Amino acid sequence: MAQEETTLIQVRELYKWFPIKVGLLGRKSIYVKAVDGVSLEIKKSETLGIVGESGSGKTTLGLTLMRLVNSTKGSIIFGGIDITKMKGRDLKRLRRRMQMVFQDPYASLDPRQTVRSALVEVMKIHGSIKDSKLASDKAAELVNIVGLNPDHLARFPHELSGGQRQRVAIARSLVLSPEFLLLDEPTSSLDVSVQAQILNLLQRLQTELDLTYVLISHNLAVVRHICHRTAVMYLGRIVEIGDTSQLFENPKHPYTFALLSSVPIPDPEVSQRLDVIEGDVPSPINLPSGCRFRLRCPYATDRCAAEAPLLREIEPGHSIECHYDLDLNSRPAATGAPAEGKVGAGPVGSA
Amino acid sequence: MRLYEFILRRLFLMIFVLFAISVITFILTRGILPPASAVSGYLHLGLSDTGKLDIAQGVGVATRSCPSWSAFIDNHAGCVVPLYQQYFYWLGDVLRGDWGWSNLPNDFGVYPTLAAFSDRFPYTVQLAVFSAILTLVIGFSLGIISATRANKLPDHLSRLTAIIGYSIPAFWFGLLLQLLVVYYLTFNGFSLFPVSGALGTQCAICIANPGTIHAYTTIPVLDSLLSGNLAYLWDTIVAMVLPAITLSITTVAFLSRILRSSMVEALSQDYITLARSKGLRERVVVYRHALRNAILPAITVSGLIFSSFLGGVIVVELIFNYPGIGSVARDATVALDVNFLELYVLVSAFIIVSANLIVDILYAFLDPRIRY
Amino acid sequence: MTRSTSESPGSRSAPRQTAQAVLEIRDLKISFRTYLGEVKAVDGLNLSVSRGEIIGLVGESGCGKSVTALAIAGLLPRNADVLSGEILIDGKDLRKMSKADLRRTRLEDLAMVFQDPMTYLNPVLTVGSQITEIMLENPALNDSASITARLDEISKIEAERGKTEELGLERQILMSAGGGKLGKRDAKRLARLRTLAVLRMVRLPYPERIFKMFPHELSGGMRQRAMIAMALVRKPKLILADEITTALDVTVQAQVLALLNQLKDEIDSSIVLITHDLGVVAKVCNRVAVMYAGNIVEVAEVKALFRKPLHPYTVGLLAAIPRADVAKSELTSIPGSVPDLIAPPSGCRYHPRCPHAFAKCSDVKPILTEVEPNHWVACFLFDK
């Protein structure tokens, strides 16, 4: 198989642990295991969705992929090269090939910079276009691509609407003609009617510019709509990954099933049992033994406590991290009273 | 981490802080001062060991290293020891409770450093506590009034008071108070408040012969209470009024502004909206919900203020002729009394570090989110 | 569950039926003074909420839904002015009330639940004390009439459902009033008892432990349950729930929505559920009002609205949401963006984005009209 050609990014056993100092003299360290052994493959020209609740580690995984956060262990192969130890000029060159779009365009754009200077600045920093006339032309071309008109070039972020700001942020990420875009909750600060515009724009850009996307989101509907493949994260690990249609129509991991059942469907005539699982995501500091989902899992057995499951393929292109092949559509009753330990469980920091 | 672990750790760190400060002070005093006074400091120190009153001997003439400690003390051999060795000699004595002799001018000829300190420190303690109470009561009231009526007349008035309080130099304000009292508040030849001293016997509202008290704690306020001499207590307090007002004018301004800004901030928080939506009375919203959150920065400031009061305030003590530790420290500096200065600096450091520790412990009780 | 559906959502053209309405808003206009100009946030809003119903108030950010809720609770920020209109709770106009009466109304009849339970709960007070203070503040709970009434109620419940330890304890505390008022300690014990009951009602495990905990010691879902308990404890006539699941994770949101569905049958309060999520509306509400740029553009039974949305904005909104349960090929988006309310469009505020707009739309403001039974729309397309 010509997999070498189709794989853009290969992540192997990636870890990111954040230490917290404790103890009398701050010597003993405990860790927040934000990313705890993730392996995945991002194919060229696809959109991979990473979904999870807060504390699942999806944002940390994204930042580690972008080398905005250094990994603790593991490798990220981007276009055949391990980028985890890349430094200096190599790293700067790498940045041209991978760009990021953030959740809040108002926070990620400089309020004192016009749209034009925000775009031209990127070209200057990376020296891609030195002539200012050419740079200005390129900026005009980019705003056109993202569906704005040249009038917008002279505006400041506060003079734009939320949707327009996000378009500018997308245009900025495209300045260096990257191959790969990391989209971190790109529509969650936008209104529904505007969200649809941005999602459509992203889909159009992908085909026109042959881009590869990783979309990080807690919004399952958005992921289903835009992603080719989807990975579900829970407490730092991927518990299920597969083609979007497979995963949404036939989830095999009890967590994925619970997550999907929890989304309120905007149709009053679809009857839906909402509370399929109890409790909140536990803290990523004190992880349970064995399978990390077992405390909330209605199917948990002794084996789940004793032995951590590993990601295994159950059908081509569809893997789960669960010991069992469960028939999830025979819906279980919600679990009984939550365990004593859950009461004191602290809040979980956002991912 | 548990709170007691935190306290233990901080106490442990305090030892290092005090050690470092003692070294720095030692170098700054004995290392930089001319050898005469440096050695004289040692000779005083040595006296407690040897009992000899042989101060003038050998000052500044030492040229070679001493064969022994006693040779250095006696100084007949005309020798010096290196500074680091001097430090350990000094430290050894201090750890045994011997702070040496002070060369402050006094009535007794020789004066142990510790006595020079403890004769005056109780006065500073009572003035500090009195001024701190004054600062807290007025500062908190002004801060709360300002915050709850933000940008209205009371807030503007309180801001004006604060600006004035900040800008007036204490020496000028103190003199102004004295003038005011002496010229305008004088009845039958007696001013309303005493303008000088620690026991008011020369004022309109003073009790002329308050009698005497027994020194249980050496702090006059407490001793007069314990001795049951309320006349003495009254006179002691009356004498502190003017110095305390002078001391508090700046700190009240500081504290009230800090509290105002943290109260305004707290009052704009979401939990205040919820508290109001519950239909609670405004008084409950302000005191129970806002003040509990806003008090934390004010407590830090209060800790700093109190420890600065305890260090003695030279200017105010001089103006009101108040026998606190600050003016002694000034005299000691002029007299190059290194033993006294070393003790004074260490006690001040100890007070500041302890005040910070107490503030941190208070934080843990007032804000349940803080875990050390 | 079928509810009385005869009430109008209230409009100038509709007959007023206030007899059963818990909340009736008539022609409410609110604007904000900002340094850029006057923001006309709510522009002539009419709404009526009947007893026991859950009505969804949906719209995008800036449409005025949260402002409306704050206006009802009398908690608008200082730079906001209610220009005109009536807000009637049980027939009493909140705008004509004295400050003290408004406070009493909030204490007894009107509760709010907010979006982010972390910032809305006071971090330095225990969960229990933040709930009991509501009861301890309310003198009506501690007069001899209400004590006698509650004692009768307890006897009735005991006769119907049998004795419980909790009811026995409550009776014992109430009896200690001896015909007069409760002492301070007994009032506190009673408040604690009722707080524990309401914590149990929102399905919080181990209420005795949670009573003593501080907000940061609870998870997001538990905090939101605690805030709901705070609203329920006064048995209010109306609960205003402003985006109460928006800050929560999906699985936790599902649990809170399920709780609301269970509570629906246990309490008498009406709930105004403010949200931007049509999924939440579909799962919880009986009726729904869609807001756009300060106006209600459509009011209908939930099923009718989803089955047959009438207003072009509602149609556009439903087409624009991606769905997790079915694959949609392409999302239909609404062109343009939400208008600037300092200079809102003339006539119908939606007309610049509306695919069906015609001349009249930019001149005249459409009013809510009942075009089908209980289905009200503010749009000239349905003029007969």
Rounded Cα gap, residues A259 and A253, in angstroms: 10
| Chain C CB within 8 Å of residue B371 CB | no
Name the most confidently modeled range: A23-27, A331-335, C144-148, C204-208: C204-208
The alpha-carbon gap from C132 to the nearest alpha carbon of chain B, in Å, equals: 11
Select the residue of A220, A258, A345 nearest C324 (Cβ to Cβ). Answer: A220
What average pLDDT does this structure show over A29-51? 91
For chain A, give the mean pLDDT: 85
The predicted-structure confidence for C361-372, as pLDDT tens digits, reads as follows: 999 999 999 999
- What is the predicted pLDDT for the residue at C10? 40
Q: Distance from CA of residue C374 to its chain's centroid?
A: 20
Q: Is the dihedral of CA A130, A134, A138, A139 positive or negative?
A: positive
C residues 237..276 contacting A (CB < 8 A): 249-255, 257-259, 261, 276
Position A350 confidence tier, pLDDT thresholds 50, 70, 90: very low
Query: Which residues does chain C have within 8 Å of residue B366's beta carbon, measured at their own beta carbons?
Result: 124
Q: Do B271 and C120 touch (CB under 8 A)?
A: yes
- What is the predicted pLDDT for the residue at A130? 76
Rounded Cα gap, residues B348 and B326, in angstroms: 11
Interface test with B, best of A24, A27, A28 (most B CBs within 10 A): A24
pTM summary value = 0.84
Q: Is A77 left (phi over 0), alpha (psi -120 to 50) or beta?
A: beta
Cβ proximity of B314 and B326 under 8 Å: yes
Higher pLDDT among residues C336 and B109, named by residue: C336
Q: Do C137 and B281 touch (CB under 8 A)?
A: yes
Query: Which residues does chain C have within 8 Å of residue B150's beta carbon, measured at their own beta carbons?
Result: none
Query: Which residues does chain C have within 8 Å of residue B265's beta carbon, measured at their own beta carbons?
Result: none
Residue environment code for A49-88, b if the CB has 16+ CB neighbours within 10 A, otherwise e? bbbbbbbbbbbbbbbbbbbebebbebebbbeeeebbebee
- What is the predicted pLDDT for the residue at A272? 84
Alpha-carbon dihedral of residues A294, A295, A296, A302, nearest 10 degrees?
A: 40
Structure tokens at A167: 């378009």
Position B37 confidence tier, pLDDT thresholds 50, 70, 90: very low
The β-bridge partners of A82 are: A77
Q: Is the pLDDT of residue A330 over 70?
A: no
Q: Which region among B203-217, B291-305, C31-45 has the lowest average model confidence (pLDDT)? A: B203-217
- Give, in order, the Cα–Cα distances in Å from B183 to each of A214, B239, B315, B321, C233: 82, 18, 22, 19, 65
The chains found to touch C (3+ Cβ pairs under 8 angstroms) are A, B
The predicted-structure confidence for A122-146, as pLDDT tens digits, reads as follows: 888 887 777 888 888 899 999 999 9
| Chain A CB within 8 Å of residue B215 CB | no
- Amino acid at the residue B171: F
Q: Is A67 left (phi over 0), alpha (psi -120 to 50) or beta?
A: left
Rounded Cα gap, residues C175 and B184, in angstroms: 65
DSSP string, A172-218: HHHTT--SEEEEESTTTTS-HHHHHHHHHHHHHHHHHHT-EEEEEES
| Chain A CB within 8 Å of residue B36 CB | no
- Comparing alpha-carbon positions, the chain B residue that sits nearest to A25 is B9
- Comparing alpha-carbon positions, the chain B residue that sits nearest to C230 is B278
The alpha-carbon gap from C106 to the nearest alpha carbon of chain B, in Å, equals: 5
The predicted-structure confidence for B247-289, as pLDDT tens digits, reads as follows: 999 899 999 999 999 999 999 999 999 999 999 999 999 999 9
CB atoms within 10 A of CB A154: 11
Q: Is the pLDDT of residue B79 over 80?
A: no
Rounded Cα gap, residues B28 and C246, in angstroms: 62
The predicted-structure confidence for B185-207, as pLDDT tens digits, reads as follows: 888 778 888 888 888 777 878 88
| Chain A CB within 8 Å of residue B9 CB | yes
The predicted-structure confidence for B328-340, as pLDDT tens digits, reads as follows: 888 888 877 778 8
CB atoms within 10 A of CB C77: 10
| Chain A CB within 8 Å of residue C81 CB | no
Q: Name every residue in A having a CB less than 8 A away from some CB of B.
A: 22-25
Cβ proximity of A30 and A17 under 8 Å: no
Tell the residue number behind the tokens 């510019």, with chain if given: A209
Q: Most distant CA pair in chain B: distance in Å?
A: 86
Rounded Cα gap, residues C209 and A278, in angstroms: 19
Q: Is the pLDDT of residue A3 over 70?
A: no
- Give, in order, the Cα–Cα distances in Å from A136 to each of A132, A133, C186: 6, 5, 76
Cβ proximity of B55 and B43 under 8 Å: yes
Rounded Cα gap, residues A25 and B218, in angstroms: 39
- What is the predicted pLDDT for the residue at A25? 57
What average pLDDT does this structure show over C256-280? 92
For chain B, give the mean pLDDT: 82
Rounded Cα gap, residues A313 and A327, in angstroms: 16
Q: Do A22 and B5 touch (CB under 8 A)?
A: no
- What is the predicted pLDDT for the residue at A179? 93
- Comparing alpha-carbon positions, the chain A residue that sits nearest to C247 is A54
Q: Which of A191, A105, B268 is nearest to C246 (CA)?
A: A191
Tell the residue number behind the tokens 């509650």, with chain if given: C150
Domains of chain B: 35-98 (no CATH), 115-366 (1.10.3720.10)
Structure tokens at C258: 């399920």
- What is the predicted pLDDT for the residue at B260? 94
Q: Is the pLDDT of residue B33 over 80?
A: no
Higher pLDDT among residues C22 and B209, named by residue: C22
Q: Which of A243, A240, A281, A344 is nearest to A56 (CA)?
A: A281
Position B313 confidence tier, pLDDT thresholds 50, 70, 90: confident
- Amino acid at the residue B222: L
The predicted-structure confidence for C333-348, as pLDDT tens digits, reads as follows: 888 888 888 899 999 9
Structure tokens at C346: 């003339």
Query: Which residues does chain C have within 8 Å of residue B281's beta carbon, measured at their own beta carbons?
Result: 103, 137
- Comparing alpha-carbon positions, the chain C residue that sits nearest to A55 is C249
- Give, in order, the Cα–Cα distances in Å from C210 to each of A185, A296, B315, C214, C253: 34, 20, 55, 8, 20
Q: Is the pLDDT of residue B75 over 80?
A: no
Q: Do B1 and A25 touch (CB under 8 A)?
A: no
The β-bridge partners of A243 are: A229
- What is the predicted pLDDT for the residue at A89? 86
Strands of chain B (E only): list them.
64-65, 79-80, 101-102, 111-112, 186-187, 190-191
Rounded Cα gap, residues B59 and B56, in angstroms: 6
Position C5 confidence tier, pLDDT thresholds 50, 70, 90: very low
Position A302 confidence tier, pLDDT thresholds 50, 70, 90: very high
Structure tokens at C214: 């501080």
- What is the predicted pLDDT for the residue at B60? 36
Please return the burial class of A220, using the count of CB atoms within 10 Å of its CB with bins 0-12, 13-18 and 19+. Answer: buried
Q: Do B9 and A25 touch (CB under 8 A)?
A: yes
Q: Distance from CA of residue A143 to its chain's centroid?
A: 25
Query: Which residues does chain B have within 8 Å of residue C104's beta carbon, measured at their own beta carbons?
Result: 279
| Chain C CB within 8 Å of residue B271 CB | yes
